[in-house]
Structure 1
Amino acid sequence: MTNHQTRLEQAQKAVQKASEKVQNTPYRLGYHIMAPAHWINDPNGLIQWAGEYHVFYQHHPYSPKGGPIHWGHVKSKDLVFWEHMPIALAPGEDYDRSGCFSGSAVDNNGKLTLIYTGHVNLDVEKDEFVEYQCLAESSDGVHFKKHPSNPIISEPPKDGSPHFRDPKVWKRNDKWYMVLGNQVNNLGNVVLYESKDLIDWEYQGVIAKSTGKMGYMFECPDFFELNGKHILLFSPQGMELEGDLYQSLYQNGYYVGGFNYETKEFNHGDFVELDKGFDFYAGQTFLDDKGRRIVIGWMSMWESVMPEQEHGWAGAMTIPRELKLNENNHLVMMPVEELKILRGEHLTLSATVISENIRLDHIKGECLEIVTEYSLKGCTAQKFGINIRCSEDCTEKTMIYYDTHSGKVTVDRNQSGKGEGGIRRSEIHGQDHESIKLHLFIDRSSLELFVNGGETVITSRIYPNPSSVYVELFAEEGEVQLLNLDSWKLADIWK
C-alpha cells in the first residue's frame, strides 16, 4: 500500500495535467470555486485560519464523474480571489480506503485540524460499507497528516446504521462537540458527541430525527448559534414533493430552536428550505473574525445532467453568502460584501414603465451582477421580470419573473440551453411590500437570484451558448414601473 504522501502527489499530478484541457471551455465559471479539473461536490472544512479563508471540498482528481473521494483545497484572503492549494487528503488507509468523505475544520491550539468520515466499501454490489470518523492535522495549513489515533470514532451508536457521516465540530468553553448524520430504521437522524481533546468522544444522544416525512437520511449537519437561537442546517434525503417545496432530488434546509447543553435537548420548529433552486446542497457555515456566519453550498445536485463533464470537469461552489435570522425566525442569505471587488463597468437604466419585451443592448455578458427593483403600486401586469443569457433571437434564455396573482417568483430554465430544464417557484413573504427587488449573480453556467434582501434565494446551473449574452426586461398583460436597474460586469478571478 502506498503511503499518504505518495497518493497525494499522484492525485495532484493527475488533476494538474487534466486542468490544462479544461481552460477556456464554454461553461467554466468566472468567479466561483471549482476544482482545477474533474469532479467536485460537498464543501468541507470551511474556516478562517491564520488570517485566511479556507474551503476544502469533496474531490475526485482522476475523473469528472466521481470516484474515490479526496479533499481538494482552496484559500483566499478576501472571499473573492481564490488560490488552488495542493490536495489535502487522499484515501487509502484501512479506515478510509474507499473515500475521505465530508467533514469540518477547527483550529486546535494553532493546528488546522480536519475531521472527516472515512468510507470503506465491503461489498459494492450489496451496498455494504462501514464509516469511521477520522482526524488529520496541519501546522502550515497546506500539508496534512492523518492522526495515529484514527479512527477517532470507530462505530455508530448502538441503534444506528453504517450510514454515519459528515462530522461538524465546534468548541464551547473547554469542550468539543460534534454532530453527525445517521440513519436509524431507515429514518434520518442527527446525533451528538462530546470530547475534551478531539480524540476520545462520548455519545450524547439524538438531537433531531425524522418521523417519516423528513426522509431516510440526514446528511451534512451543521449546528450553530445565531441571534440567540440555535440552528440545525442539514441535508435530508428522501423527502416527498409538496407543491413548490422539495422539488430537488435531495434538500438542504434548517430547524430554528433552542438547545440546552446540560440536557442535550434541541427543541425546534418546522423544517424550512434554505435555497429554493435546482442546485444547492450540503451547505456548510463558518464564523469569521467580523462576526459573520457565512455559508457556501455545492452548486449542483446528485443525478443531474452536468454538460461540463464532457469538457473534463463537474460541479462548483456557490458564492459565499452571509446568513442572518430575520424577525420571522427565517434565515436570509445575501452575497458577502467583498464580492463588490469583482465589479467592473457600471451601467444603469433609469425609471421606466415596462409593458412589453425590452432588449437592453448596452447591458450584456456572461459574467454579470444585476440589481433591479420594480414598484408593486399600480402594477397591472400579470407577470414581469428579466430574461438573461438571451440569444440574438431570444429562443434561448433563462426567465426570472414575479407573478402578481400568485405572489410567487419563478426561475424558468426550460429554454436555458444544454442540461436539464425545469421551473422553481417560491412564494415571496410579506405581500405588503411596495416593491420587489431582484439581485442576480450571473456566471457562465450559473445563476444565483436573491429576492428582497435574500429572503428568497434560488440557485441554478444553466448551460447557454457562449454567444447568448443579452438581457431583456418584460411585462405581460399589463405594465409595471421599473424603479431602477444597476448592472456591473464582473471580473474573472481565474484569469
Structure 2
Amino acid sequence: MAFNRFRPTSHFIAPHSWMNDPCGAVWIPETQEYRVCYQWNPGTSKGGNSAWGMAKSKDLVAWQDCTPALRNGTSYDSLGVFSGSIVSKIVEGERVLYLFYTSVSSLPIHWSLPYVEGCESQSVAFSTDFGETWHRYQYNPLLASPKNGTRTTGWRDPFVSQSQSLSKLLGSDVETNFMMIASGNRDLGSQLCVYQSNDLLGWESLGTVLRVKNGSKISPSSKLQFGQNFECASFFTLGQQDYIVVGVEEDSHSERHNGHYLLWLSGKFTLKNGSLDFEIQSHGLLDHGILYAAHIFRDRENRLLQLGWADESAKESVIESQGWAGCLVHPRELFEISEPITDVGRASNRWLVDEESGRMSTLGIRPAPQVTTLRSGYPSNSLQEFSSIRTKTFELTATFTNLSGNERFDFNVRKSPDNTEVTKLIFDLEKGAMIVDKSKSSIHGLGESTPDFGDLDLLDGEDLVVRIFVDVSLVEIYVNNRFTLTSRIYPSLETSICASYNFGSYPESAVDLRLWDRLRDAWPDRIPGDTLTEMGAHEGNELREQELGRSESFLCPAIVA
C-alpha cells in the first residue's frame, strides 16, 4: 500500500497527514510519562494550517496518540498555532503545564515576503490535568508584536526555560524564566529576542541577545554563514559553557534542503554597554543532513535531550499518494566532550581550546539511552550476517581501530539483490568526510539523488565509531558522539531490502560490529491502514474537525488565585 511503503515504523510519526516541528516535550512526574507535541495538519500531506498534535510515552520509545493539544482559535490565532515549548510548574501545590506558542493571524509568513504587522504574536495555554486538556489564557496574546514592525523577517517559536547563567548575569532570581524568540530584521540581519518573567504571564523585553549580519561568516575561518532569518531557537548550559541551538534560514542561493540548516553555538552570555549579548566561542552543525526544527527538553533523569523534524525529500507525487509527510528522529542526548588539545582541535571551529587546562571541549551528540530499548533479540557480530539481512529496518554499530587515515568504509543499504538500487553510506577518512550517496537509491527517481555529506573532523589517532539506523525511508548516522547526519531515501524496487559492505584492504577481523535486524514498533496500539488516502476531500475535512476539537479561552484558577 502507498501509505506504508516508505513509512518508518520505529520512529515518532503522526498517525497520518503532514507533520513537522516537535514543539513541546515534557516529563510529568505524577503520571510517570512524557508528553510530546508536534506541528500537525490532518487531512492533507501538505504543510500550512497547523495544530499541535500530541502523543505520550513512558520511555520515549513506545508511543500512544493523544487528543491534540491545540487547534486554531477565532482571532489572534485564527490561522495557526505555530511552534513553541512547554514549561511544567507547581502552582499552589498543583502541577500546571504552560504551553507557549506563536499565534498566527495572517499567512503566508516568510523572510522573503512583506511582513504583516500582527501576523505573529506569542500566547499561552494551560493544562491542570497533566496534559489531557488545554485551555487558552484569557488575556492572550502575552506579546502582541515584534519591535521591528514591518522590517521583521520573522518572530516566532518561543522557547521558555530558566537559566542560571542569565539569572546570575542580570542579578535576577534563580526562579526567573527567560523566553527566546527567533527573529530577524530585514535591514540588519537575523536576531534572537529575549524576555524575562517571574510568573510566566507578564514578560519584559531584554532586547536582542544575538544580532548578526545577513551572509556574514559565523567565524573568520568558518564555512558556515548566517542567513536571512532565525527559527526554532533554544538555549542551555553544559558545564561552564552556554549554548544556543537555532535554525538558520538561508537566502535563495542556498543548496541545502529547503534552504535551511541547524546550528549550535557555544559561548557566554555577556553584558556589553548594558545590553545583553552572546559571545560565540565555538560552533558546528547539529546535523549535516535534512534535520531541522530542533527542540530541547529534559528527561526524567535530567539528561538534556533533543528532538528534530526529518522532512521528506521525495517527489510531490510520492508524498501525495502516501497521504502523510515527515517524522521525528530518535531522541538525541546533548552533552559536553572534553579531550586533550590537539592541532586538529586548534584548527577546528567546533572545539573550544583552553590552553591553561590543556583541554578542549565541544558539543557531544548521541542517541538517547532510551533508544537502545528499540532493539529486539540478540545482536549479531558477523559481517556475513549483515550481508545476508533482508529487512527495511535495522540498527548497526561498528568500531574501526588502528587507522592510518587513508581508509574508506562503505555500508551499502536498501540494496537490491542485483545491485541495481543501492544507497551507499561512505566514511572516507582520506577526504575527512561522511557521504550518503543516493545516486542509485531509486531507479525511478522517486526522491532526491543529490548526496548528503559532512566533515568528520577526526582527531589524530582517533578510532572511527559509527552508529547507523535504517528505518524504511529514514537514515540516521552518528559518528564518534559528535557528528550526526539525517537522510531520506525512496527505493523503487520492493526487493531493495539487502545490504553489503566494502572496507577495501582493512581487515574484516578488526571490525567490532553489532547488528540488530529487528527493531520494535514505536506505535504498538495503532491499527495499520491506509484510511486517510481512501477518503475524499469532504471526509478528510470531517476527520480534521473530529480529531482537532476545540480549546476555549480560560483563566486558570490555580494561577490567578
Short-chain TM bin: 0.7 to 0.9
Give the structure 2 partner of residue 115 of structure 1.
100
Give a deviation string over 1:201-253, Cα, whole Å, max 9, x none. 111111112212211100011011112211110001016889xx967620111
Give the drift of 1:60: 0.5
SS in structure 2 at match of 1:182: strand
Query: 1:494 is aligned with what amino acid?
Result: W
Query: 2:158 is aligned with what amino acid?
Result: P
TM-score under structure 2 normalisation? 0.77
Give a deviation string over 1:140-193, Cα, whole Å, max 9, x none. 212111110100100112466262111001135232210001121252110101
2:370 counterpart (321, 328, 338) = 338
Q: Does 1:401 align with 2:426?
A: yes
Query: 2:409 is aligned with what amino acid?
Result: F
Query: 1:388 is aligned with what amino acid?
Result: V
1:92 & 1:368 partners in 2: Cα distance? 42
SS in structure 2 at match of 1:95: coil
The number of aligned residues is: 462
Residues 301-316 of structure 1 aligned to structure 2 (within 5 Å): 307-316=318-327
Give the drift of 1:435: 3.0
Give the structure 1 partner of residue 489 of structure 2.
462
SS in structure 1 at match of 2:214: coil
Contact 1:105 1:169 in 2 (8 A): yes
Q: 1:406 to 1:94 in 2, by over 3 A?
A: same
Mean CA deviation greater in 434-443 or 370-379:
370-379
Q: 1:142 to 1:131 in 2, by over 3 A?
A: same
1:215 & 1:154 partners in 2: Cα distance? 25
Give the structure 1 partner of residue 547 of structure 2.
none
* Unaligned runs of at least 5 residues, structure 1: 1-20, 353-357
Q: Does 1:99 align with 2:80?
A: yes
Contact 2:153 2:185 in 1 (8 A): no
1:363 & 1:441 partners in 2: Cα distance? 14
1:435 & 1:122 partners in 2: Cα distance? 50
Give the drift of 1:360: 3.8
1:124 & 1:185 partners in 2: Cα distance? 13
Residues 285-296 of structure 1 aligned to structure 2 (within 5 Å): 285-296=296-307
Give a deviation string over 1:398-417, Cα, whole Å, max 9, x none. 11112232122211122222
Mean CA deviation greater in 206-215 or 255-264:
255-264
Q: Does 1:237 align with 2:216?
A: no
SS in structure 1 at match of 2:503: strand
2:260 & 2:108 partners in 1: Cα distance? 25
1:157 & 1:237 partners in 2: Cα distance? 20
1:377 counterpart (403, 407, 411) = 403
Larger relative contact order, structure 1 or 2 (CA cutoff 8 Å, min sep 6): 2
Query: 1:138 is aligned with what amino acid?
Result: S
Q: 1:203 to 1:387 in 2, by over 3 A?
A: same
1:30 & 1:148 partners in 2: Cα distance? 40
Give the structure 1 partner of residue 265 of structure 2.
255
Q: Does 1:163 align with 2:163?
A: no
1:254 & 1:139 partners in 2: Cα distance? 34
Give the drift of 1:288: 2.2
Query: 2:259 is aligned with what amino acid?
Result: L
Q: 1:359 to 1:338 in 2, by over 3 A?
A: closer
Q: 1:111 to 1:475 in 2, by over 3 A?
A: same
Contact 1:407 1:431 in 2 (8 A): no
Contact 1:359 1:472 in 2 (8 A): no
SS in structure 2 at match of 1:30: coil
Q: Does 1:65 align with 2:46?
A: yes
Q: Does 1:492 align with 2:521?
A: yes
SS in structure 2 at match of 1:339: helix
Give a deviation string over 1:450-495, Cα, whole Å, max 9, x none. 112x22111111122443111101135x445442221112112224
Give the structure 2 partner of residue 6 of structure 1.
none
Give the drift of 1:434: 4.8
Aligned-CA RMSD value: 2.7
Give the structure 2 partner of residue 182 of structure 1.
183
Give the drift of 1:379: 7.7
Q: Does 1:152 align with 2:142?
A: yes
SS in structure 1 at match of 2:85: strand
Q: Does 1:90 align with 2:75?
A: no
SS in structure 1 at match of 2:259: coil
1:408 & 1:124 partners in 2: Cα distance? 36
SS in structure 2 at match of 1:253: strand
Mean CA deviation greater in 180-189 or 123-132:
123-132
Give the structure 2 partner of residue 5 of structure 1.
none
1:149 & 1:306 partners in 2: Cα distance? 44
* Unaligned runs of at least 5 residues, structure 2: 164-173, 216-225, 339-350, 352-360, 525-561
Give the structure 2 partner of residue 364 of structure 1.
390
Contact 1:239 1:246 in 2 (8 A): no
Contact 1:378 1:480 in 2 (8 A): no
1:75 counterpart (56, 64, 71) = 56
Q: 1:304 to 1:42 in 2, by over 3 A?
A: farther
TM-score under structure 1 normalisation? 0.86
SS in structure 1 at match of 2:373: helix
Give the structure 2 partner of residue 414 of structure 1.
439
1:44 & 1:280 partners in 2: Cα distance? 14
Identity of aligned residues (%): 29
SS in structure 1 at match of 2:490: coil
SS in structure 2 at match of 1:468: coil
Mean CA deviation greater in 433-442 or 32-41:
433-442
2:326 & 2:362 partners in 1: Cα distance? 28
1:190 & 1:265 partners in 2: Cα distance? 10
Give the structure 2 partner of residue 450 of structure 1.
478
1:33 counterpart (12, 20, 42) = 12
1:310 & 1:146 partners in 2: Cα distance? 36
